[in-house]
């Protein structure tokens, strides 16, 4: 009897032990499967996040820069990408010149794709104001009047004021403003050359302003006017295009054009309040010297196309 009871007890204990072992083994399998699934899901989520981040980081920022594309050596239009010219938006032509060089440097250092937009001179400021373009790099003087409409960067060039006449004209030997008395003269519309400088010439016969820099050069070359007033880079480029022109530089004399610093400082205009872009532009210009600006301008003058 005792043996039978003992045998039954042993059988029950053995069965319980086996059930216990089976339960433990099963429970160990479930978490392992859950962990693998969780890791796979986590890996998928991380991969998706990385893909999204990579997609976001590859988005290209575009910097829309406006200029006339007809104001050598600051900017001009050419038929190909020679010397590093940039395509003009909505055109088969390309833009190059000093302004394009500066625009390329700014876009590169700030991580933008550069887009050049060709606009008439009088359309430049309104385009910045409306936000149609991001900035203007077009040889603009930093005047008080313009500062009421747009914000300006620090200067990216310092352009002194000079005159241009024909080599064989009546004013070829002028040594100061007094020698230009009574001259028939003109300059470009909407510039300090026309609005501020020409009235300083005694008894000047001031003709209507020309719509563009090439137009005022043609007026002089054709003999329709005796004198045009412009800045040094424009005059230097003009003398390359028209060998029969002479540059009149009165700087350093007591009989020179009277202009303020703001009128000869050339800056980049942005929409008022666009401090992020303005600060970025200024950070690039701060890393450049006057010698850098002059060197780039000389390069632009050396590769400019001859005026048509």
pLDDT in tens, 16-36: 444 444 443 333 333 444 444
Q: Which domains does the chain have, with CATH numbers?
A: 61-158+266-303 (3.40.190.10), 161-250 (3.40.190.10)
Bridge partners for 296 per DSSP:
none
The pLDDT value recorded for residue 69 is: 96
**CB neighbours of 282 closer than 8 A, spacing ≥ 6?**
153, 154
- Average pLDDT over all residues of the chain: 86
CB 130 within 8 A of CB 139: no
User: Which of 23-27, 165-169, 211-215, 239-243 has maximum average pLDDT?
Assistant: 165-169
SS (H, E, C) 89-140: CCCCCEEECHHHHHHHHHHHHHCEEEEEEECCHHHHHHHHHHCCCCEEEEEE
Region 154-176: what's the mean pLDDT?
96
Written as six digits, the tokens of 58 are: 């590859």
* pTM metric for this prediction: 0.74
User: How far is 69 from 210, CA to CA, in rounded Å?
Assistant: 16
**CB neighbours of 63 closer than 8 A, spacing ≥ 6?**
103, 106, 107, 110, 112, 113, 114, 115, 134, 135
The pLDDT value recorded for residue 89 is: 97
Instruction: Please state which of the ranges 46-60, 179-193, 284-298 shows the lowest mean pLDDT.
Output: 46-60
Region 243-253: what's the mean pLDDT?
95
The closest alpha carbon to 105, from 304, 299, 306, belongs to 299
Query: How many alpha carbons lie under 13 Å from residue 290 in its C-beta half-sphere?
Result: 3
How much of the chain exceeds pLDDT 90, in percent? 73
For residue 59, name the pLDDT band (cuts at 50, 70, 90): confident
Bridge partners for 265 per DSSP:
158
How much of the chain exceeds pLDDT 70, in percent? 80
The pLDDT value recorded for residue 29 is: 39
The pLDDT value recorded for residue 45 is: 52
Report the length, in residues, of the chain: 308
- pLDDT 10s digits, 82-135: 999 999 999 999 999 999 999 999 999 999 999 999 999 999 999 999 999 999
The closest alpha carbon to 128, from 76, 66, 192, 62, belongs to 66
- pLDDT 10s digits, 171-208: 999 999 999 999 999 999 989 999 999 999 999 999 99
């Amino acid at each position: 009897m005792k043996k039978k009871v003992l045998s039954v007890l042993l059988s029950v204990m053995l069965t319980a032990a086996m059930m216990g072992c089976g339960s433990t083994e099963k429970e160990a399998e479930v978490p392992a499967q859950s962990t693998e699934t969780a890791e796979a899901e986590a890996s998928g989520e991380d991969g998706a996040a990385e893909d999204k981040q990579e997609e976001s980081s590859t988005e290209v920022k575009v910097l829309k820069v406006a200029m006339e594309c007809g104001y050598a050596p600051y900017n001009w239009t050419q038929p190909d990408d020679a010397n590093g010219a940039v395509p003009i938006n909505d055109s088969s032509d390309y833009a190059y010149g000093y302004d394009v060089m500066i625009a390329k440097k700014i876009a590169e250092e700030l991580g933008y794709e550069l887009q050049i937009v060709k606009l008439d001179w009088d359309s430049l400021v309104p385009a910045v104001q409306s936000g149609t373009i991001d900035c203007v790099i077009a040889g603009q003087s930093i005047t008080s009047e313009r500062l009421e409409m747009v914000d300006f960067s620090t200067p990216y060039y310092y352009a002194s004021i000079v005159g241009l006449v024909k080599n064989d004209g009546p004013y070829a030997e002028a040594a100061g403003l007094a020698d230009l008395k009574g001259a028939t003269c003109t300059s470009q519309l909407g510039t300090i050359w026309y609005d501020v400088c020409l009235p300083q010439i005694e008894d000047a016969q001031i003709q209507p302003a020309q719509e563009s820099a090439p137009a005022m050069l043609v007026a002089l070359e054709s003999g329709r006017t005796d004198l045009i007033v412009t800045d040094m880079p424009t005059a230097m480029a003009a003398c390359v295009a028209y060998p029969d022109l002479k540059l009149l530089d009165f700087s350093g004399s007591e009989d020179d054009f009277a202009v303020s610093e703001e009128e000869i400082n050339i800056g980049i205009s942005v929409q008022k309040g666009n401090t992020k872009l303005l600060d970025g532009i200024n950070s690039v210009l701060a890393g450049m010297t006057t010698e850098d600006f002059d060197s780039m301008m000389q390069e632009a003058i050396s590769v400019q196309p001859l005026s048509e």
